[in-house]
């Protein structure tokens, strides 16, 4: 399609379309930078110090990290970031039936396994200590086994004592019949090395075997394939106080081993490593059969599965039993309110992380940059929310700390943090470089200078992994109109089945606006074709519906649109502009392209800019370089629009009333043409 450029256009701007022009509007400052030294010290003192450190690449926030580290993480960020998880785990352990287990869902990078383990340790510290178990021959039926319950840590001693006893009896059984002292001496030695809790059993066993021995009877376990049924149950729980809390992966450990180690306490598992078919029957039975013919060992363990929502869906769809056992659920939160308490938690976590790895501690400005990046990481409400993703925070702090260490700096600074963030984006910049090259070479026709009728730059996001690789690019949207009978706004993307449901809803909403605005006095007699030019993939979302409408109004009115201004926003049926997602990516993506073209000599009249929904002002948290450029250099603007009428003067340079009048006149012409055709 050939672009229809116009040489003249009015230059007036809208009094209604307000702009974001200050640094604080484009990048919210932190409270942390404004606090006095005394206030900073007070906040720091409210958090525990991390005394652990490591010279190895042992991740601070990994599952299975030392208990002291987990306790520090929980004390530092738990109450601020995940209060529902912390309170929910405590409540479950206090009040839920022992047969009811817990699923904690959400992103594992939020530190959920560490928080669950820390809360569980606090709770089980007051629980009774678990027991040791040892199998031994049943005095009433020596060919059978009996399970002895003993104080924790004594099972192995009894097992060793019994092994010595049975070895001595089997070797000296022939002497026992003529010399009872041999028999008594062997049992006496066994009793001396056995725990106190086993003395009654040994007395009963001695009483059962003595008549056989003194009467010359055969050794009860004679024969090559026979041996007494005995042995301590291992592994057993390891605790210094209260009950055990065990974090385990079943990729390297059997389900029986971890259940034995956690028996009497709490077992925390990742469901992605669990063989559900083996785990669930054991939890139902609440006992473990270690050997056929031996008594089952009682199981009293509270199990927590910590996994993602996808894993949850898979487990619950494949087994009815899991919903009967894991009747309690908690879900971690991906973001927290941005307030001074959250900033203090970020600061404490960053300070502890650098201490743990022996890196320079972050200064106040570095904490502020970290907090601002935490705001940029959330999906919407960026000026009032911070991410809870501990892995992201941890990795940025470590990378920035290593940069500071490399230059022998006494502290990690904001410049270190910003440099790391820029490097992360650069390392993932291959895709955006290819797209920008296509635009700059002319392969993708996306003009950012001059004006055009029925054409506009919308903004789309290409989401890739990792998140630093995601970026926004302008998408040329064009509209054409012809007379037609009845109301019919035809979208080529929809006809080609390339649109998702939300984009189609956005288009239908735009049609509703059109009918309400222009169809009150006469039927709409037009067909409109709206095209996302050179867009080979599908069209997602309704964030382009405002741009589609503006392209259509331009095509009908004949008034050109500024190519140097891009638009994002969803349209309402009454002309209100509704918020969209990814506003920061979209502003920055268009700024990146315009900066390159400006460096190549392009200077459009009135400069470059982006129109965004006014409601998205709450989300604007731009990269520091972009925010400073907009406020200090003056060649790029961010306008806010609450209604369609706010945007029209910015895009077309004339009052909105002029546009509406021209559109109504064109529609009247179309209607007259259709009436004439019907009369013929």
pLDDT band of 4, cuts 50, 70, 90: very low
**Residue 242 confidence (pLDDT) above 60:** yes
Instruction: Identify whether the C-beta of residue 448 lies closer than 8 Å to the C-beta of residue 594.
Output: yes
pLDDT at 13: 44
SS3 at position 460: strand
pLDDT band of 186, cuts 50, 70, 90: very high
pLDDT at 101: 97
Q: Encoding tokens for residue 281?
A: 């029957």
The predicted model gives 618-632 an average pLDDT of 97
pLDDT band of 503, cuts 50, 70, 90: low
**Strand 636-641 relative to strand 608-613: parallel, antiparallel, unpaired?**
parallel
Q: 523 has which bridge partners?
A: none
Place of tokens 């209607």: 671
pLDDT at 438: 86
DSSP-derived letter for residue 444 is S
Q: What is the pTM of this model?
A: 0.86
Cα(188)–Cα(181) distance, rounded to whole angstroms?
10
pLDDT at 563: 96
pLDDT at 225: 58
Looking at the chain, how many residues does it have? 680
What domains are there in the chain, each with its CATH number? 31-44+338-354+361-427 (1.10.8.60), 84-129+237-331 (3.40.50.300), 131-232 (no CATH), 436-670 (3.30.230.10)
Question: What are phi and psi for residue 349, nearest 5 degrees?
Answer: -65, -40
SS3 at position 213: helix
The counts of H helices and E strands in the chain are 25, 23
Instruction: Identify whether the C-beta of residue 476 lies closer than 8 Å to the C-beta of residue 561.
Output: no
Q: 304 has which bridge partners?
A: 102, 268
DSSP-derived letter for residue 74 is I
More confident residue, 496 or 284: 284
Listed residue (75, 65, 79, 78) closest to 112, CA to CA = 78
pLDDT at 250: 66
DSSP-derived letter for residue 78 is I
pLDDT of 350-382, one tens digit each?
999 999 999 999 999 999 999 999 999 999 999
SS3 at position 462: strand
Q: Encoding tokens for residue 99?
A: 């047969």
Distance of CA 410 to the CA centre of its chain: 33
Q: Encoding tokens for residue 351?
A: 């300070």
Please list, in sequence order, all residues whose beta carbon lies within 8 angstroms of the beta carbon of residue 520, skipping any fewer than 6 positions away: none
Please list, in sequence order, all residues whose beta carbon lies within 8 angstroms of the beta carbon of residue 384, skipping any fewer than 6 positions away: 337, 338, 618
Instruction: Identify whether the C-beta of residue 90 lies closer than 8 Å to the C-beta of residue 84.
Output: no
The predicted model gives 61-79 an average pLDDT of 82
pLDDT at 36: 96
pLDDT of 543-599, one tens digit each?
889 999 999 999 999 999 999 999 999 999 999 999 999 999 999 999 999 999 999
**Residue 472 confidence (pLDDT) above 90:** no
Q: Peptide bond preceding 466: is omega within 30 degrees of 0, i.e. cis?
A: yes
Q: 231 has which bridge partners?
A: 135
Of the listed ranges 392-401, 480-489, 519-528, 635-644, the one predicted with least confidence: 480-489
Please list, in sequence order, all residues whose beta carbon lies within 8 angstroms of the beta carbon of residue 143, skipping any fewer than 6 positions away: 137, 220, 229
pLDDT at 163: 95
Please list, in sequence order, all residues whose beta carbon lies within 8 angstroms of the beta carbon of residue 424, skipping any fewer than 6 positions away: 468
Listed residue (47, 118, 44) closest to 82, CA to CA = 118
Q: Where are the beta strands (DSSP E) in 308-405?
A: 328-331, 335-337, 385-387
Q: Encoding tokens for residue 590?
A: 């268009």
Q: Encoding tokens for residue 370?
A: 């970290």
Burial of 659 (0-12, 13-18, 19+ CB in 10 A): buried
Listed residue (198, 200, 212, 130) closest to 160, CA to CA = 198
Query: Among residues of the chain, what percentage have pLDDT more than 90?
Result: 66
Query: Among residues of the chain, what percentage have pLDDT more than 70?
Result: 90
Cα(150)–Cα(666) distance, rounded to whole angstroms?
93
pLDDT band of 501, cuts 50, 70, 90: low
More confident residue, 111 or 186: 186
Q: Where are the beta strands (DSSP E) in 313-393?
A: 328-331, 335-337, 385-387
- Mean pLDDT, the chain, rounded, equals 88
pLDDT of 223-239, one tens digit each?
765 788 899 999 999 88
Q: For the chain, percent helix, then strand, then coil, each to nearest 5? A: 50, 15, 35
The DSSP H or E segment spanning 307 is strand 302-307
Cα(294)–Cα(288) distance, rounded to whole angstroms?
10
**Residue 677 confidence (pLDDT) above 80:** no
Instruction: Identify whether the C-beta of residue 471 lies closer than 8 Å to the C-beta of residue 589.
Output: yes
More confident residue, 267 or 515: 267
Q: 488 has which bridge partners?
A: 527
pLDDT of 133-159, one tens digit each?
999 999 999 999 999 999 999 999 999
Burial of 35 (0-12, 13-18, 19+ CB in 10 A): middle
pLDDT band of 538, cuts 50, 70, 90: very low
More confident residue, 568 or 435: 568
More confident residue, 666 or 493: 666
Q: Encoding tokens for residue 118?
A: 């820390």
Of the listed ranges 61-65, 459-463, 669-673, the one predicted with least confidence: 61-65
pLDDT at 525: 80
Q: How many CA atoms lie within 13 A of 16 on its CB side?
A: 16
SS3 at position 142: strand
Q: 131 has which bridge partners?
A: 151
pLDDT at 55: 53
DSSP letter for each residue of 634-662: -SEEEEEESBHHHHHHHHHSS-HHHHHHH
Place of tokens 């929502």: 309
Q: How far is CA 298 from CA 92, 99, 201, 279, 449, in A?
A: 22, 13, 19, 15, 77
Q: What is the dihedral of CA 666, 570, 583, 428, to 10 degrees?
A: -90
pLDDT at 680: 54
CB atoms within 10 A of CB 329: 14
pLDDT at 12: 43
**Strand 102-105 relative to strand 328-331: parallel, antiparallel, unpaired?**
parallel
pLDDT at 318: 86
Instruction: Identify whether the C-beta of residue 112 lies closer than 8 Å to the C-beta of residue 131.
Output: no
The predicted model gives 176-194 an average pLDDT of 89
Largest CA distance in the chain: 133
Radius of gyration, CA atoms only, the chain = 36
Of the listed ranges 239-243, 480-484, 500-504, the one predicted with least confidence: 500-504
Cα(489)–Cα(576) distance, rounded to whole angstroms?
20
CB atoms within 10 A of CB 81: 29
């Amino acid at each position: 399609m050939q672009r229809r450029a116009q040489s003249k256009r009015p230059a007036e701007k809208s009094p209604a379309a307000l702009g974001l022009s200050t640094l604080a509007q484009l990048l919210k400052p932190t409270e942390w930078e404004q606090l006095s030294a005394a206030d900073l010290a007070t906040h720091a003192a409210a958090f525990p110090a991390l005394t652990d450190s490591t010279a190895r690449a042992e991740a601070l926030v990994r599952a299975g990290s030392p208990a002291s580290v987990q306790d520090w993480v929980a004390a530092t960020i738990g109450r601020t970031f995940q209060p529902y998880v912390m309170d929910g785990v405590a409540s479950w352990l206090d009040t839920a039936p022992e047969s009811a287990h817990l699923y904690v869902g959400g992103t594992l990078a939020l530190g959920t396994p560490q928080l669950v383990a820390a809360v569980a340790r606090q709770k089980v510290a007051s629980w009774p200590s678990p027991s040791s178990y040892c199998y031994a021959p049943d005095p009433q039926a020596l060919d059978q086994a009996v399970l002895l319950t003993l104080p924790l840590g004594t099972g192995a001693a009894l097992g060793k004592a019994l092994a010595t006893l049975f070895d001595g009896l089997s070797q000296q059984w022939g002497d026992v019949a003529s010399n009872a002292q041999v028999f008594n001496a062997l049992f006496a030695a066994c009793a001396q090395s056995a725990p106190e809790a086993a003395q009654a059993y040994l007395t009963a066993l001695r009483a059962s075997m003595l008549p056989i021995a003194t009467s010359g009877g055969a050794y009860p376990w004679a024969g090559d394939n026979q041996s007494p049924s005995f042995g301590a149950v291992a592994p057993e729980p390891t605790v210094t106080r209260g009950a055990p809390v065990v974090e385990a992966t079943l990729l390297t450990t059997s389900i029986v081993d971890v259940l034995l180690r956690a028996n009497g306490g709490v077992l925390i598992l990742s469901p992605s490593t669990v063989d559900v078919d083996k785990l669930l029957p054991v939890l139902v039975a609440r006992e473990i059969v270690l050997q056929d013919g031996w008594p089952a060992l009682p199981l009293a363990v509270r199990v927590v599965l910590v996994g993602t929502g996808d894993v949850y869906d898979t487990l619950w769809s494949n087994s009815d039993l899991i919903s009967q056992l894991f009747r309690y659920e908690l879900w971690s939160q991906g973001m927290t309110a941005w307030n001074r308490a959250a900033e203090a938690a970020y600061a404490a976590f960053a300070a502890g992380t650098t201490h743990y790895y022996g890196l320079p501690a972050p200064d106040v400005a570095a904490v502020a940059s970290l907090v601002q990046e935490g705001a940029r990481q959330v999906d919407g409400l960026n000026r009032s929310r911070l991410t809870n993703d501990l892995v992201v925070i941890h990795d940025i702090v470590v990378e920035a700390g290593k940069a500071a260490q490399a230059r022998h700096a006494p502290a990690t600074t904001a410049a270190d943090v910003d440099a790391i963030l820029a490097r992360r984006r650069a390392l993932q910049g291959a895709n955006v470089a290819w797209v920008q090259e296509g635009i700059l070479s002319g392969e993708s026709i996306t003009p950012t200078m001059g004006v055009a009728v029925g054409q506009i730059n919308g903004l789309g996001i290409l989401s890739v992994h990792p998140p630093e690789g995601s970026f926004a690019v302008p998408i040329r949207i064009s509209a054409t109109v012809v007379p037609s009978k009845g109301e019919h706004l035809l979208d080529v993307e929809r006809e080609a089945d390339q649109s998702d449901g939300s984009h189609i809803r956005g288009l239908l909403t735009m049609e509703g606006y059109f009918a309400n605005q222009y169809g009150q006095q006469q039927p709409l007699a037009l067909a409109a074709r709206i095209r996302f030019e050179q867009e080979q993939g599908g069209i997602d979302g309704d964030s382009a519906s405002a741009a589609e409408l503006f392209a259509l109004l331009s095509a009908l009115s004949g008034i050109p649109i500024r190519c140097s201004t891009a638009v994002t926003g969803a349209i309402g049926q009454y002309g209100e502009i509704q918020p969209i997602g990814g506003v920061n990516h979209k502003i920055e993506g268009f700024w990146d392209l315009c900066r390159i073209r400006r460096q190549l000599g392009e200077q459009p009249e009135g400069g470059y800019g982006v129109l965004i929904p006014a409601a998205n002002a709450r989300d604007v948290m731009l990269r520091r370089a972009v925010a400073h450029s907009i406020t200090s250099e003056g060649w790029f603007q961010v306008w806010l629009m609450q209604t369609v009428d706010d945007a029209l003067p910015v895009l077309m340079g004339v009052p909105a009333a002029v546009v509406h009048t021209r559109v109504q006149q064109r529609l009247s012409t179309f209607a007259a043409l259709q009436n004439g055709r019907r009369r013929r």
